[in-house]
Structure 1
C-alpha cells in the first residue's frame, strides 16, 4: 500500500510525536518534581530553563534546513526523545536524580524543538498545497490530543502507581519508562508510515541559503512598530508564564501542616518527649536530637478531604534527604523558632492528589481548552482580529481571579476547582487564538516561515524568564498574594495591545462571491 498519498496515515502520529514530548518536558515534569520533594523555587527556576530550546530554535533551524532530509531529522529526534525518557525513568531512583534528570530533559527538549522544525518542514514539502489548509486542523487536533495524553492519561497513570506502591520514586520511574516505550512505538510507526520521498533541502546552494537566512533574520527587526511588537510578545504572557509553573504545586500542596501530640511508636514517643522537654523551653538541640525530630516527630498534612501523616523519606545522602523531606524539616524549624507556640503552619494549597489533577486537566480542562480554541478561531474568521483582540485578551487573563478566590477561601467541594480550571482553560483557548493570529500578522511578508519562528522564539523567551523566578515569588508572597501578583502582571500586555497596528479585518475569512 502506498502511504505517500495517504496523509491520514501519517499526519496524526507525526503531530502526536510533537505534542507529547512538549507536555512531558514542560508540564508533567513540574508535577513529577513536586511529588519527588523538590521545592517550588527550584521547580520554577530549572523547569523554566527547559523552554530555552524553543526560544533559540530559529538560530539552528537553517542547519536542519541545509543538512539531510526532514524525515531523517524527525525520526532521529523522536528516537533520541524516546531514549531520553527511558533514561529519566531509570535515573529517578539514583543519587542526585534532580540534576541528572534535568540534564536528560534538556537533551529531550532540544530534540523536541528540532523535531518540531523538521516535522513542520516535512508537512509543507510532502503535502500538496491544496490539502494543507484542510489538514492544518487535523494537525492541531492531534497535537492537542497528545497534550491530553501527557497532562491527563500519563498523570492519571502516575497517580495510580503512587497509590499502588506508596512510593513516589518508583511510581514516577515506571511512568517515565512507560512514556519512553510509548514514544519508541510512535517513532517506529512514523518510520513505516511517513512518505519516503522528499525534496532534499540540503541540495540547495549552501552559501545562498546562509546569506538569505542572515538577511531574513535582520529583516524581522526592520518591521513597523518592531520595538512595541517585541515588547508585546515578551510581556503578553508575563502573568501566564508564572501561573503555569506554580499552578500544579498550588493544587497539590496541602492546606496546612500540624503537629500531632499522639505517638504511634516508641521513636515518636521519644521525639515528642524531646519536643516537650527542650523545644518549648527554647533549649539548644544537638545534631542527633535535631535529626530525631526530623525523622520521628508526628506531623499531619491536611489535604482537601483527609489528613495524612507526613512520613519521612529515607535518603543516605544529606542533601537528598533534606530535599526529599523539605516540608518536614521546614515545619520543624518553624516549631523550634516559635518555641512550640506555633503548632500549625498554613501552606495554602488545595490538597489534591495526582490522580485528581490528571482527571481535572486531562478531561474537563482539555475539552474546555479545545472548545475555546475552536470558538476563538471561528470568531476571528467571522469578524476579524480588531474586534476580538481586547475581549479575547481579557477572557484569557480574567479567570486568574478564580485562583485568587480558591487560594483565599479554600472551598471544600472539588467542583469549585473543576469550575475554575474549566473557565481558565476555556479562556486560555479562546484568548490565545488572538495572540497566535497576531503572530501570524507579524510574520506576514516574503519570509513568513522564518519570521514566525523568530516571533515564537520571543514568545518562548517571555515564558521562560518570568517562569524561572515564579517559585521565588510564590514562596515569598504565599499562594493568595502570588495569584494577585499574577493578575497584575497581565496589565502591561493589555496596555501594549492597544498600541498595536494591524489591518482592521485581519484574520476575517474572505466572503465567497
Structure 2
C-alpha cells in the first residue's frame, strides 16, 4: 500500500480518539446518565451491557469491510453516523419513554462505532510499518483511553455542572448529549482532513481476490493454540466487565438513607403519626395510607456533602410513581417490612455527585492513564511482550483491592478515592497495552483487519455477558462483597495467560543498523 505515513502523529491520536469517545459514551457515560435519570442498577447492568452486542458480532460484517471500499471511507462515514446518533439521543431524553428510545439510538451508534473500530484498526495495521506499530500501540492505547476519560471525566463534569445550573437532570443530560454529537462532528471533519488519502481498495488488490467470507473465518480458527486463546480472551476481562458497570453507581450511590422523626410540615407529621401508630404495630395499610406514607414521610439521604431530604418526584405521563421515586419507595417498603424497627438503611455507596466523578476521572486519573499507556508501549517496544505480559496484567487487576478497601472503610477524606482511581487508571493504561499487543499477535497473517475484529469480538462477548448480570450480583452481594467477587474473577485470566505461546521478542522494536 502506498500512503504517506511520515506524519503518524498527525492522524493516529485523533483517529483513536474517535474510536474511544463513542465507546466511552455508549458503554460508560450512559450508565451514569441513566443512574441520574432514575434507572435501577439491575436495568442499567442488563440493558447497557447489551450495547456491547455490536462489538460482539462485528466479525460477521468485518470481512465485508475488509473486501469492499477503503478503510478511510468506512471510518469517516461511521463517525458521521455516530455524530448524528448522539444528537438524536440529546433530543430524545426529554420525551416520555426515553429509556428504550435512547437505548435503540445508542445501539445504532454502537453498530457504527464497532464498524469504525474495524476500519480504523485495519487502516493502522495497513498504513503503519510493522517496526513502528509497537511504539505507536502505546500512543494508540493512550489516546483511546484518553478519549474514554474525556467521556468519563470532562463530559461527566460538564453534565454535573449543568445538573447544578438547571436543577434538572433531564435538561442537563439532553444538552450534554447534543454537545457530544457536535464534538464528534468536529473530530470527523479533522480526520477527513488529516488522515492519509491515497489508500488502495483491498478489493482491487490481487492478493485479496481469492479471499471470501468463509476462508477468512476458517483461517482464524485454524490459528495455533486457538482454543486456549479464545478462552483466555473471553475470561481475561471477567472481573473488569463487572467492575466497569457498577463502579459509577458505587461512587454516586448515597452512603445511607435515614428516617426523620420530627417535622414542622403538617402532611409530614400526618405521615409520621401513621408510621408510629400502624407501621410499628405491623398493621396492614390501606392504599390511601400507603400513598400518604410514600409521598410525605420525611426521609433524608446522606452523601459525602451531608444530609439532604429526598423530595417527592411527580411522575410524567405514562410513568409509574414507584419507578420515579425508587429510592423513597424502596426505603419506606423496608421500614414497613421491618415494622419500623430499623430507621437507617446503609446503601454502601461513596456519596459523590456527578461533578465529583467527572473531576476525579478527568484530572489526576487522566494523567495517570497517560503515563501508564506510554510506559507500556515503551516497555514492550524495548524488551518485547514476553517479559512484560504478566507484570502488566497484575498492574491492571491489583488496583481492584483499593475499591474493596473503599467499600469497607468509606474514608471521609476524598483524596483516598483519588489515590485509588490514580492507581487503577495507571494500571489499566500500563496493563491494557499488553492485552492489545497480544490481540495484534492473534491477528497476524493475512486478513489482519478481519482477524483483529474476530479477536475483539470475542473480547466484547466476554465483557457483555458478565456485565449483564453485574447489577443483579451487586444487589445480592452488596458493594463490599461484590468487589471481592470482582477481584476473584480476575484470577482465571491471569492463570491462562501463563499458557499462551507467542514469539519471545514479539512487539520488540527492531534494532536500527
How far apart, in 2, do the equivalents of 1:487 and 1:186 lie?
37
1:66-145 alignment runs, 5 A limit: 66-123=67-124, 139-145=140-146
1:336 aligned onto 2:312:
no
Q: Which residue of 1 aligns with 2:282?
A: 282
Q: Which residue of 1 aligns with 2:27?
A: 26
CA contact under 8 A between 1:22 and 1:112: conserved in structure 2? yes
CA contact under 8 A between 2:162 and 2:172: conserved in structure 1? yes
How far apart, in 1, do the equivalents of 2:159 and 2:354 lie?
7
Q: Which residue of 2 aligns with 1:405?
A: 405
Structure 1 segments unaligned to the other structure (5+ residues): none
Structure 2 segments unaligned to the other structure (5+ residues): none
Task: Tell me the alpha carbon deviations over residues 378-435 of structure 1, each in whole angstroms, 9 at most, x when there is no partner.
Answer: 2233333333232222222111111111101101000110111111111122222222
With 134-143 and 72-81 compared, the bigger mean Cα shift is at 134-143
How far apart, in 1, do the equivalents of 2:327 and 2:225 lie?
48
Task: Tell me the alpha carbon deviations over residues 260-314 of structure 1, each in whole angstroms, 9 at most, x when there is no partner.
Answer: 1232533322222222222112121222221222222211111123111112222
How far apart, in 1, do the equivalents of 2:308 and 2:210 lie?
62
Count of aligned pairs between the two proteins: 510
1:47 aligned onto 2:40:
no
How far apart, in 1, do the equivalents of 2:142 and 2:440 lie?
19
Q: Which residue of 2 aligns with 1:422?
A: 422
TM superposition shift of 1:190: 3.8
With 394-403 and 119-128 compared, the bigger mean Cα shift is at 119-128
TM superposition shift of 1:250: 0.4
How far apart, in 2, do the equivalents of 1:437 and 1:123 lie?
13
Q: Judging changes above 3 Å, is the alpha-carbon distance between structure 1 residues 262 and 407 closer, same or farther for their aligned structure 2 residues?
A: same
How large is the Cα RMSD of the aligned pairs? 2.6
TM superposition shift of 1:130: 8.8
Q: Which residue of 1 aligns with 2:156?
A: 155
How far apart, in 1, do the equivalents of 2:499 and 2:128 lie?
38
Q: Which residue of 2 aligns with 1:374?
A: 374
Q: Which residue of 2 aligns with 1:175?
A: 176
1:386-397 alignment runs, 5 A limit: 386-397=386-397
How far apart, in 2, do the equivalents of 1:208 and 1:223 lie?
21
CA contact under 8 A between 2:279 and 2:340: conserved in structure 1? yes
Q: Judging changes above 3 Å, is the alpha-carbon distance between structure 1 residues 219 and 126 closer, same or farther for their aligned structure 2 residues?
A: closer
CA contact under 8 A between 2:154 and 2:362: conserved in structure 1? yes
What TM-score do you get using the length of structure 2 for normalisation? 0.92
TM superposition shift of 1:240: 0.8
How far apart, in 2, do the equivalents of 1:296 and 1:138 lie?
55
How far apart, in 2, do the equivalents of 1:319 and 1:243 lie?
30
How far apart, in 2, do the equivalents of 1:72 and 1:402 lie?
44
SS in 2 for 1:262: coil
How far apart, in 2, do the equivalents of 1:411 and 1:15 lie?
37
TM superposition shift of 1:144: 3.4
CA contact under 8 A between 1:148 and 1:363: conserved in structure 2? no
TM superposition shift of 1:197: 4.4
CA contact under 8 A between 1:66 and 1:206: conserved in structure 2? no
Q: Judging changes above 3 Å, is the alpha-carbon distance between structure 1 residues 512 and 130 closer, same or farther for their aligned structure 2 residues?
A: closer
Q: Judging changes above 3 Å, is the alpha-carbon distance between structure 1 residues 161 and 380 closer, same or farther for their aligned structure 2 residues?
A: same
TM superposition shift of 1:11: 4.6
1:252-271 alignment runs, 5 A limit: 252-271=252-271
CA contact under 8 A between 1:95 and 1:320: conserved in structure 2? no
TM superposition shift of 1:141: 4.5
1:307-386 alignment runs, 5 A limit: 307-317=307-317, 319-386=319-386
CA contact under 8 A between 1:4 and 1:194: conserved in structure 2? no
How far apart, in 2, do the equivalents of 1:406 and 1:282 lie?
37
CA contact under 8 A between 1:96 and 1:320: conserved in structure 2? no
With 394-403 and 199-208 compared, the bigger mean Cα shift is at 199-208
With 337-346 and 444-453 compared, the bigger mean Cα shift is at 444-453
TM superposition shift of 1:193: 4.8
How far apart, in 2, do the equivalents of 1:46 and 1:322 lie?
20
Q: Judging changes above 3 Å, is the alpha-carbon distance between structure 1 residues 34 and 374 closer, same or farther for their aligned structure 2 residues?
A: same
How far apart, in 1, do the equivalents of 2:391 and 2:379 lie?
11
TM superposition shift of 1:245: 0.6
TM superposition shift of 1:4: 10
SS in 1 for 2:61: helix
SS in 1 for 2:363: helix
How far apart, in 1, do the equivalents of 2:392 and 2:185 lie?
39
TM superposition shift of 1:54: 1.3
CA contact under 8 A between 2:268 and 2:298: conserved in structure 1? yes
